[in-house]
Structure formats: C-alpha cells, structure tokens
Structure 1
Amino acid sequence: MTEAYDLVVIGAGSGGVRAARMASSHGARVAIIEEYRVGGTCVIRGCVPKKLFVYASRFSEVFDIAGSFGWSVDASFDWATLLANKNKEIDRLENAYVSTLEKWDVEIIRDRGVIEGPNAVRLKNADRVLEAKHILVATGGHPFKPAIQGADLAITSNEAFHLETLPDSILIEGGGYIAVEFAGIFAGLGVKTTLAYRGDRILRGFDDDMRVGLEEGMRSRGINFIYNACTERLEQADKGIRAIFSDGQDHRYGAVMYATGRVPNTMGLGLENAGVQLTPRGAVAVDKFSATNVASIHAVGDVTDRVALTPIAIREGAAFVETIFNSNPTAVDHSLIPTAVFSEPELGVLGLTEAQAAMVCDIDVYVARFRPMMNTLSDKPERMVLKLITEKGGGKVLGCHILGPGAGEMIQLVAIPMAMGANKADFDRAVAVHPTAAEELVTFKAPNYTYTNGEKDL
C-alpha cells in the first residue's frame, strides 16, 4: 500500500516536530515517523532530564551553607524518588508534544522509516510505503563509545537517566559539556567521581579563564581528574569495573560512563538508496538551507553535525518550512550562539574567547572576580568570574563569558544586545540592578588589560 504526503519527517525530536507542525499549518499533509518516543534526545534523555538531575545535585551544596544563614538541616537523598518524578515529568512532556502534533493534524507513525528513493519512505515494521513530495531527516545522534575491550560494561548519558541504583563511585571519560555536567550531577548526589580526559584541560574551545575556574570549582567539590590519558580496556571486577588507562593507571569504579561525543544517526536510514551524500563524519551533508544534494530531501538538527543544540534544531526546522512551504528562503545564522553548561559552577558563554578575539582585532578585556553573595556568610571561598571582551577603545562587544550561579540565565539576556551589535557604551548605558552578580557586566570602568596586534599589552 502506498500513501502520498507533502512531507514525511523521519524523527520526532525538536527539529522534526517543529517542522512537521509548521508545514501542516501551511496546508501540507504531513506524517512524522518515530521509532522510540516523541520528543527526541532533548526531552526524553538529554537537556530536560539532565537539568532536573542538576537541580537535585545542587541541594547538597545549599545544605552545606544553610548553617551560615541560621538553618539546621538534616537531609537524606533518595535516588528512586528522583527517578520516578523525572519519569513522570518526561511522560507529561511527551504527551504535550503528541497533543501538539495531533492538534495540527500531523500523522504520528510509531515505526522505523527507511528511505527507498528520493520520494519514498518504507515503514520497516508495517506493510506501508509513504510517497513524499519532500522528506526531512531529523533523526538526531547517539552517544559514542570507543571500540575498546569491555566497552559494553560502560554506560552513556542514555543509560545514566535510568540507573536502578547510584554507584558508590564513577569514572566519566570525556572533557566536553556532557562530561562535566554529569560529573557535577554524580558528585552532588554523593558519588565519588573521577573525570578522565585525553587532553590537558576540560572544555576545549572555551575561554581559558572559564576552563581554569570550572576545574577549580569541580576539584573543590571533590571531583578527581585524570588528564592526558584514556581507558584502554574495561574489565568486570568485584562489585564494579576495573579501568586500565593508556598511561598505565589501573582503578576500580562502581560504574564507568563515556561522554566522548555523539554520532549522527544515519546508519540504516537508506540514505544511499536516494544517493544522499554524507560528510566524512557520517553526517548528512547539507547547505545553508538544510538541503542535501537530492532536491526532495532535507535534514536538520544533530544528524547534520553542524551545531548540536536543541534551539538550533528548532530554528533549522522552522527555516526549512519557510523555505519549502512558504516560498521564503531562510537560512539559520550559526555565527552567534549563546551556550550554557550546567556544570557546578555553571557556565554561560557567547561570542569569541579572549584568544580568538585577539587574533581578529585589537581588544579590551574586562574581568571581575568576586565571591557570590550567597557564600559571603560562609567560609566557602569560590569566586564568580565575569569577562567582557570588546574591540579596543570601547567598541563592539565580541564575547561574554560567565562562570558562577545563574550564568545560563544571564547569558541568554546578554545574547539580545550582542545580537543587535552592541558596543561597550550600550552596556554602560544600562542601569545596574543591585545587588546582583549581573550588574558587573554594566559597571566595568576600564579594561583590566588589552591586546594589540595579537599580543597582550604589558
């Protein structure tokens, strides 16, 4: 049996759902195919459950300083309760996604879609072939595991959301935002946590002050670091897993988690049947309009390996619909994207790092370091760091980097003036809200130091 649609979307994650809903609003007949759960990585086993776990992990730190405010706290943590409440919230969100699609008359098909040609998608488990004027691939990605002996003993972020019990200790391998976020989560929940990374410092590509400050904050929370090494093999051990490292170290952990990147979900999709080109990393190759080399097939989100962020997938899905179903060619600007890392302490970053900006033009660098007000009644020494990078002489703001409580919320608001091309004087005109940490961004008087011709001025 063959059925005809204007659009068939493969993958009901953030990008696919947005595209399906919007295309239907333009009068298109739309079907969306999903083999797991509606909502995709972010909703089901990514951003949303992770943030809930982050909230849970931060209570222990609040309890630590509660005494300085006169509170006596006798608290205990129950993993099963957190897990059950998390699952309840994810079910609610999935139902909301489903309701939205149904409201817009999008047909939801619970199956695996395999492309059979430029305009045909076969449902693997049902005897149906969907004829599609347009096909949108929005299948996202999955966690990468290294091909080493015993890798099957380890978990990834997928399984971390469903552990029946918390381990007594955990090794997390990786140095990116997923690794540091889960290190903070497990440490905050009382798990002895070690982070191993093949490089010499976490968060490669971030501003150096943020990298150093975050590591210091993580160490102060009891997280151990193993640098310039990675696991060569894993073995089952008594009450845990034995990890043998490339530098000769050998340790036992209650669990091992790989946070070593993600891989686009392109295997088994039948892309070769339509002649769709892939990148060397196995992602769907697309142009700025998310078009593949096959006119009827587009792709958005993590499967394209451009920017693996939920808001970007949503924008790409919307831009695809504008281009194809509203005769309004629209490309997503990937040049200025705010990012939050929900580590402990938290990070919010936007624009160029100090090193990057110094290679572009002469710059001024403004830096503030201070104890968050919540810590001032306690003996907790940790400091916030706020950095603003501008063109020399108070010119255009090129980068903003924040380490500390509320950094993610702050950077979202900073993204507005920076997207408008704000300069230092625009920030100076803003009246400070006192007492807040964010007021530092609008009260910088003079740069702490400058760069000329790529060199730091003495």
Structure 2
Amino acid sequence: MVDTEYDAIVIGGGSAGLSFARHAADLGAKVALIERAELGGTCVNRGCVPKKMLWTMADALHRSAGLTRAGLLGPVPQVDLARFCAARGDKLESIRQSYRDKLREAGVTLIEDTAELTAPGEVTISGQRLHAPRVVLATGGRPVKPDMQGAELACDSDAVLNWTALPRDMAIIGGGYIGCEMAAIHAALGVRVTLVTDTDRVLTEFSEPAAKVGQANMVAQGIRIITGCTPEAVRKGEDGLELVLDAETTLKVEKVVAATGRAPNLEALGDLKERVALTDKGVVKVDESFETSLPGLHAVGDCADRLPLTPVASSDGETLARQLFGAHRPPVELRHVATTAFILPPVAEVGQPAKEAIFEGNALAPLSAALRADAPQDYYGLGGSEQAVTSVSLVAEGAHEAIAWAAQMLLHRPDRDSMRRALGVHPSTSEEAMG
C-alpha cells in the first residue's frame, strides 16, 4: 500500500516527468511518479536513443560505401542486426535502471500502474485514490497513422525502431524529420527506400535552403522521393504490401511506414478532459507556469503546447519543479532550442531560420567529395542581419554537435564581424561559416 497524500503527483515517466519528479524531490517535495509502461518514455524506448544507435551504424556504412564505390576501400561491411538488437536492448535497460536508481535516491515514490485524474487534485490507480495540490501531466505522445484505407497494415516509428530484421524495400509516408531519418538510416543499411510526402519538399520544419540540400543528399543516397502526393490506400499484395498513390500508380514493397505525425496521450484526464483546454493541434494549452485551464493541473513534455523535443521536456520539467518548490525561473525560450534531423549528413538549425531572412548562406562540396562517390553537399546559413545574427543552419558531418554551441553563441546576438574574429578548423565546413 502506497501513501495517499503528496505535494505533487506526476503522471508519466518520460523525460519531462522524470525531470520534474527528481528536481521537485531534491527541493524537498513529497512526490509520486506513476508510469504505466517503461521508464524513459518515447525518447529512451521508442525514439531518440534507439534511433541514434541505429543512425550510428548507418552513418558508418554510408561513409564506407562511398569510399568503396570510389575503389578506395574493400567490400562494405555487413550488418549484424541480431548483435545490434542485443546491444540496443542492453543499453536501453541500463538507462531504465539508472532512472529507477535516481528516483529511489531522490526519495520519489515510483508507482507502475495506469493512472486516471478523477477529480482536481485526485489521481486513481487500481481503485486507490491519491491526492496532491499539484498534479503534473507528463504523458507524452504517440505516432498516428493517416486516415486512409488499410492504414493498419503500415508500421509506425515505434515498430520500426524495434525491427529485428530489415525489409528488402520500404515506402515511407511523410516527409518530416522522422520520415526522413527513417529513410536515410534504412537506405544506408541496404534497404531500397521510397519516401512519399504531400508537401512540395521534405523537412518542412527546417529552412528551405537547408532542407533542399538535405533532400538532394537523400536523393544522392539512392532514396526515391515523391513530393506533392497523398497516398490513397495500403493493401496486401502477393509478396508484401502495395501503397496506392493514385489510380495509375502503386508501389509494391515489403513494408510501409507511416511517419505522419504524433498525438498527445490524454487518456489519464478521464472525464476531466472536457475541462482542459487544448490547442488546434490537440495538445494541452499551458501558461508560463505550465498550468492548464484546470487549476492545480500542470502539463509538460510532448502532451503540452511546447516544442516536442527531449531537451525541452527535461528543461520544462526542471523549471516547473523550481517554480513550485524553489526559486522561480521562466521557461527556456524556444527560439534558443537547437534541432537536428539525423539524415546523412545531419541537418541542424537554431533560431528561426524558417521564418526570417537568410542574409548569408552557401552550399559547398566538402573535402571528402574528392574521395567518396556520391558525396553529400554541405551547407551553412546565417539569419538575422550583419548587426545581429539570430539563426544558424548547418548541413554537414557533425552538424548535430556544432549546432548546440551555435545556440549558446546566439544568446548574445553577435554581429557578423565579431564572428569572423573566431577562426574555424581547416579544412572544414565550419571554417566556411565562420570566415
């Protein structure tokens, strides 16, 4: 039997919920965290971590394949997916165990059960009622499939990241960063990939110049990209599946993957859902204190109206804990959050380059192009003005690492002349951007 009275109850053990619970407990609060599935949420179990591990293998294969085609290396190494899956499983379990240990050390009560908000300040688990003046909804989100015939035959990103065997070919519906990551990774692993998007280009979350370079790199990788197309149906074929694009065109593939967006998990609201205001996108509206329209109920992470990224979820969880039980601090400004699409090479941005003018930018061939067949293009772009640089776009090997440092630089809104006083490494794409 667990205690029934707490200072705060958090529903959801993903990045946001874990961060809130640990920091609130460190500040002296009595906290219960309720999680119905695996600790770590989407990021650890079905998102960032397994994706990055798979991308690491794909990146190595992609680089070596280009050198092999140029005649500079021997045969491309073969993928041992069984060993990879074992290593992935061990890593994810070690992360989950570390979270258990940290919660225990912080004094957080971990309850592995399904929770429902049955009244303001009241959460019910298996018939038992828990109470707290503050309840935190950190239930995350889930992938959604398109509204079309046969959609149930398609895999979503959760399923893809748990594959234990690679298909010979696949079609991906959706050209956002998740769909593009799945395409680039699996193409590098030897899968024939077709990506279909209803937009006029892929990676619409990013600025057009950077996205176009990223798209060109995907095409050079051997990925077939079909733009401006909304598939009509998925159906079973003689040897796999068929993705119907229109009356004349059908793609025959072994797997179809739907990368068509995500929706928040709001089941825990129960009958109180009607009292919680949502945005047009269906996520929970929150104010500067992450409080919803229901007093005493807060929301953080992917279910809230913020940027659905792990660093934002973790930061918001800590910020809410400090607001409630420590010294107040405002939420991080979303324009300062760096983002990356893990294609090959990555596309990375910070600021708002998709919304403001790019006053300086250039696509260029990296030195590796002299050695690798079908070598990708690099790109850098600076937004704002010569007097105050407010955004950075990068497409290059290592862009996912460099963009975080660019984000810290942009906090000071440097002028372009000052940036030129710092010199980049030679030869590199950063040298071009800094020079």
Name the TM-score class by shorter chain: over 0.9
1:212 maps onto 2:212 in alignment:
yes
Tell me which residue corresponds to 2:370.
376
Tell me which residue corresponds to 1:30.
31
Tell me which residue corresponds to 1:150.
150
Whether the 8 Å contact between 2:7 and 2:30 is mirrored in structure 1 is yes
Tell me which residue corresponds to 1:250.
250
Find the aligned partners of 1:247 and 1:208 in 2 and give their Cα distance: 31
Tell me which residue corresponds to 1:19.
20
For the structure 1 residues 74 and 261, does the alpha-carbon distance in structure 2 shift closer, same or farther, using more than 3 Å as the test?
A: closer
Tell me which residue corresponds to 1:406.
398
Larger CA deviation: 174-183 vs 248-257: 248-257
Tell me which residue corresponds to 1:449.
none
Q: Amino acid of the residue matched to residue 412 of structure 2?
A: M
For the structure 1 residues 70 and 154, does the alpha-carbon distance in structure 2 shift closer, same or farther, using more than 3 Å as the test?
A: closer
Find the aligned partners of 2:284 and 2:428 in 1 and give their Cα distance: 44
Find the aligned partners of 1:274 and 1:174 in 2 and give their Cα distance: 31
Q: Amino acid of the residue matched to residue 257 of structure 1?
A: V
Whether the 8 Å contact between 2:166 and 2:191 is mirrored in structure 1 is yes
The Cα shift of 1:97 comes to: 1.1
Counterparts of 1:257-336 in structure 2, within 5 Å, are: 257-270=257-270, 272=272, 275-336=275-336
The Cα shift of 1:431 comes to: 2.7
Whether the 8 Å contact between 2:197 and 2:230 is mirrored in structure 1 is yes
Find the aligned partners of 1:43 and 1:113 in 2 and give their Cα distance: 21
Correspondent of 1:433 among 412, 415, 425: 425
SS in structure 1 opposite 2:82?
helix
Counterparts of 1:47-446 in structure 2, within 5 Å, are: 47-66=48-67, 71-73=73-75, 75-123=77-125, 126-246=126-246, 248-270=248-270, 272=272, 275-353=275-353, 356-358=355-357, 365-391=359-385, 394-443=386-435
SS in structure 1 opposite 2:216?
helix
The Cα shift of 1:327 comes to: 4.7
For the structure 1 residues 108 and 254, does the alpha-carbon distance in structure 2 shift closer, same or farther, using more than 3 Å as the test?
A: same
Larger CA deviation: 195-204 vs 326-335: 326-335
For the structure 1 residues 424 and 74, does the alpha-carbon distance in structure 2 shift closer, same or farther, using more than 3 Å as the test?
A: closer
Larger CA deviation: 216-225 vs 319-328: 319-328
Give the alignment's TM-score, normalised by structure 2: 0.94
Find the aligned partners of 2:178 and 2:388 in 1 and give their Cα distance: 31
Find the aligned partners of 1:297 and 1:247 in 2 and give their Cα distance: 49
Find the aligned partners of 1:108 and 1:54 in 2 and give their Cα distance: 32
For the structure 1 residues 292 and 182, does the alpha-carbon distance in structure 2 shift closer, same or farther, using more than 3 Å as the test?
A: same
Q: Amino acid of the residue matched to residue 382 of structure 1?
A: P
Larger CA deviation: 271-280 vs 134-143: 271-280
Find the aligned partners of 1:202 and 1:262 in 2 and give their Cα distance: 17
Tell me which residue corresponds to 1:41.
42
SS in structure 2 opposite 1:422?
coil
Find the aligned partners of 2:73 and 2:148 in 1 and give their Cα distance: 49
Larger CA deviation: 172-181 vs 55-64: 55-64
For the structure 1 residues 247 and 339, does the alpha-carbon distance in structure 2 shift closer, same or farther, using more than 3 Å as the test?
A: farther
Find the aligned partners of 2:271 and 2:403 in 1 and give their Cα distance: 38
For the structure 1 residues 390 and 283, does the alpha-carbon distance in structure 2 shift closer, same or farther, using more than 3 Å as the test?
A: closer
The Cα shift of 1:389 comes to: 2.6
The Cα shift of 1:279 comes to: 2.6
SS in structure 2 opposite 1:298?
strand
SS in structure 2 opposite 1:356?
coil
SS in structure 1 opposite 2:362?
strand
Find the aligned partners of 2:67 and 2:245 in 1 and give their Cα distance: 40
Whether the 8 Å contact between 2:67 and 2:371 is mirrored in structure 1 is no
Tell me which residue corresponds to 1:447.
none
Tell me which residue corresponds to 1:452.
none
Cα deviations by residue, 1:74-114 (Å, 9 ceiling, x for unpaired): 52112222222111111111111111111101111111110
Q: Amino acid of the residue matched to residue 145 of structure 2?
A: K
For the structure 1 residues 63 and 332, does the alpha-carbon distance in structure 2 shift closer, same or farther, using more than 3 Å as the test?
A: closer
Whether the 8 Å contact between 1:431 and 1:442 is mirrored in structure 2 is yes
Report % sequence identity. Answer: 31
Cα deviations by residue, 1:288-327 (Å, 9 ceiling, x for unpaired): 2211122211000110132100111111111111111115
SS in structure 1 opposite 2:4?
strand
Find the aligned partners of 2:410 and 2:85 in 1 and give their Cα distance: 39
Structure 2's unaligned 5+ residue stretches are none
Whether the 8 Å contact between 1:390 and 1:424 is mirrored in structure 2 is no
Aligned length: 433
Larger CA deviation: 283-292 vs 324-333: 324-333
For the structure 1 residues 432 and 251, does the alpha-carbon distance in structure 2 shift closer, same or farther, using more than 3 Å as the test?
A: closer
Find the aligned partners of 2:73 and 2:193 in 1 and give their Cα distance: 28
The Cα shift of 1:70 comes to: 5.2
